[in-house]
Amino acid sequence: MIGGLFIYNHKGEVLISRVYRDDIGWALISSTGGRSRRNAVDAFRVNVIHARQQVRSPVTNIARTSFFHVKRSNIWLAAVTKQNVNAAMVFEFLYKMCDVMTAYFGKISEENIKNNFVLIYELLDEILDFGYPQNSETGALKTFITQQGIKSQTKEEQSQITSQVTGQIGWRREGIKYRRNELFLDVLESVNLLMSPQGQVLSAHVSGRVVMKSYLSGMPECKFGMNDKIVIDKQGKGGTTDDSGKSGKQSIAIDDCTFHQCVRLSKFDSERSISFIPPDGEYELMRYRTTKDIILPFRVIPLVREVGRTKLEVKVVIKSNFKPSLLAQKIEVRIPTPLNTSGVQVICMKGKAKYKASENAIVWKIKRMAGMKESQISAEIELLPTNDKKKWARPPISMNFEVPFAPSGLKVRYLKVFEPKLNYSDHDVIKWVRYIGRSGIYETRC
């Protein structure tokens, strides 16, 4: 169980400190004037934030106390515990906490945290109780932790909140009404790749999320369908066989997935159907990962030639590999340069390329690029002879982009809405679906 939670700025100053349990040194505070809590706080600052070597592990154990941290821009969130807790749970909580804070006051920055510290303490009181995580659903929290001044609630309202928060469907309150029933569905994927210089895929996977924004009246029952291989195969067997061959191609194999708490897992387990009563507003319906039959939107072909000790010639070709009608955006290729680079000349056919000394890389940016096209950059790198005998390690060339389809091949087949009590049907709901594929770590060795 989490003993305490601290938020630091980049200098290691404590912005928020909330202690839930005595074991991280709270007990001694009465006698020594808070010295030991300071110890825990300082230990993290000294050993992690200001460590000589950059600390890469998100879990640090100092004097039998575990510190779990996540970093958002320059802000460190650290959960502290003396017990042997489930680390995944702690991190899940920390991420949830980031989401909650973002939902309340936008970007997590030092200024925002300082401006909202009362709110943050209020949230911390609610989402953690004696170190045990509680309801961290933003929608539910927003009903009773508001940023408007204190508004005294009537008895009725209070009991309603209580029954809702402690009830079976804690994430949605009753009596929501919209004039226009509308829902937005985003399939967001990030594709990760490591490729050898010869074009061989060394590892590739897609991690995706289905994010929904729903504005529906009442307590609607929804059902979400996609081209999950298992479901399609099952239907193919049971139903007609007219397009089984086709559906086999179009279905995808999902390696693993997780759902929002609103999804009925029992139903998923038995029928593999995703049915749920959605929360109001924005939420993440599911998360998944696939590793088979991934569409790689770009192919990078590097060519590096060392000319003597003082010169390096680099040529990189990128090929887009999707329907010509689609447009990729925000393309950025990052070509690392040796540490003893003393000068760079770049020529590219498309976009803009620049040598960024501060990052030891050539950065090539292209705004837009259609499918089935190719583009090329060539650079001459001058080197300063050094005394160091060690060779340049040739880090991989990495790439960023955004494409309007799902590289995993996922398709939304349907999303049905039933609300028996109110008189609107599935057809009355306006539905929007959007696919966005982004690059995760998309690297090619050179």
Partner 1 sequence: EEAEKRANMPAVSKGDGMRGLAVFISDIRNCKSKEAEIKRINKELANIRSKFKGDKALDGYSKKKYVCKLLFIFLLGHDIDFGHMEAVNLLSSNKYTEKQIGYLFISVLVNSNSELIRLINNAIKNDLSSRNPTFMCLALHCIANVGSREMAEAFAGEIPRILVAGDTMDSVKQSAALCLLRLYKTSPDLVLMGEWTSRVVHLLNDQHMGVVTAAISLITCLSQKNPDEFKTCVSLAVSRLSRIVSSASTDLQDYTYYFVPAPWLSCKLLRLLQCYPPPEDGAVKGRLVECLETILNKAQEPPKSKKVQHSNAKNAILFEAISLIIHYDSEPNLLVRACNQLGQFLQHRETNLRYLALESMCTLASSEFSHEAVKTHIETVINALKTERDVSVRQRAADLLYAMCDRSNAKQIVAEMLSYLETADYSIREEMVLKVAILAEKYAVDYSWYVDTILNLIRIAGDYVSEEVWYRVIQIVINRDDVQGYAAKTVFEALQAPACHENMVKVGGYILGEFGNLIAGDPRSSPLVQFNLLHSKFHLCSVPTRALLLSAYIKFINLFPETKSTIQEVLRSDSQIRNSDVELQQRAVEYLKLSSIASTDVLATVLEEMPPFPERESSILAKLKKKKGPGAVSVNELEEGKREGGELNGGGERGGDSSSTPSPSADLLGLRAGPPVTAAAPSAGSLLVDVFSEAVKQPSPTAFLRLFVCKNNGVLFENQLLQIGIKSEYRQNLGRMYLFYGNKTSVQFVTFTTTVTCPGELQSHILHIHTWNSLEPLIEGGAQVQQVINIECLTDFSDAPLLNIKFRYGGALQNLTLKLPVTINKFFQPTEMASHDFFQRWKQLSLPQQEAQKIFKANHAMDTEVLKAKLLGLGMALLENVDPNPENFVCAGVIQTKAQQVGSLLRLEPNAQAQMYRLTVRSSKDTVSKRLCELLAEQF
Instruction: For residue 114, state whether it binds partner 1 (rule: CB under 8 A).
Output: no
Establish if 235 lies at the interface with partner 1 (CB under 8 A): no
Task: State the amino acid at position 73 in one-letter form.
Answer: S
Instruction: State the Cα–Cα distance between residues 169 and 262, nearest whole angstrom.
Output: 8
340 is a contact residue toward partner 1 (CB under 8 A): yes
Q: What backbone torsions phi and psi does residue 155 show, to the nearest 5 degrees? A: -55, -45
C-beta closer to partner 1: residue 359 or 428: 359
Closest residue by Cα to residue 252 from 312, 206, 286:
206
**Is there a binding annotation on residue 365?**
yes
Q: How far is the CB of 109 from partner 1 (least distance, A)?
A: 11
Q: Is residue 107 a contact residue for partner 1 (CB under 8 A)?
A: no
Residue 324 binding partner 1, by CB under 8 A: no
10 binds partner 1 (CB under 8 A): yes
Q: Is 177 annotated as a binding residue?
A: no
Determine the Cα–Cα distance for residues 288 and 274; give it in Å rounded to an integer. 13
- Sole window of 123-131, 143-151, 176-184, 385-393 interacting with partner 1 (rule: CB under 8 A): 385-393
Q: Can you tell me the distance from the alpha carbon of 355 to that of 312, in angstroms, rounded to the nearest whole number? A: 14
Near partner 1 in 257-286, by CB under 8 A: none
Q: Which region among 117-125, 263-271, 337-345, 367-375 touches partner 1 (by CB under 8 A)?
A: 337-345
Cα-based distances in Å from 223 to 16, 250, 265, 377, 415: 41, 20, 13, 48, 5
The distance of closest approach from Cβ of residue 120 to partner 1 in the complex, given in angstroms and rounded to an integer, is 22
11 assigned ligand-binding residue = no
Least distance to partner 1, CB of residue 357, Å: 3
Q: Does 425 bind partner 1 (CB under 8 A)?
A: no
Q: Given candidates 57, 61, 74, 147, which one binds partner 1 under the rule CB under 8 A?
A: 74
Q: Residue 132 CB: number of other CB atoms within 10 A? A: 12
Closer to partner 1 by CB, 332 or 402: give it: 332
Please say whether the beta carbons of 295 and 409 come within 8 A: yes
Q: Is 354 annotated as a binding residue?
A: yes
> CA-to-CA distance for 284 and 148, rounded, in angstroms?
26
Interface mask (CB under 8 A) for partner 1, residues 356-375, using x and -? -xxxx---------------
391 is in an annotated binding site: no
Beta bridge partners of 405: none
CA pair distance 138, 144, nearest whole angstrom: 10
Pick left, alpha or beta for residue 175 (phi over 0 → left; psi -120 to 50 → alpha; otherwise beta).
left
Residues 120, 16 contacting (CB under 8 angstroms): yes
Q: Does 47 help bind partner 1 (rule: CB under 8 A)?
A: no
State yes or no: residue 13 binds partner 1 (CB under 8 A): no
Answer yes or no whether residue 386 interacts with partner 1 by CB under 8 A: yes
68 vs 254: CA distance, rounded Å: 30
Longest dimension (CA), the chain: 83
398 near partner 1, judged by CB under 8 A:
no
Q: Which stretch binds partner 1 (CB under 8 A): 26-34, 278-286, 317-325, 381-389?
A: 381-389
- Bridge partner list, 397: 444
Residue numbering of the annotated binding site: 352, 354, 356, 365, 367
Note the residues at the interface with partner 1 (CB under 8 A).
10, 52, 54, 74, 339-343, 357-360, 382, 384-388
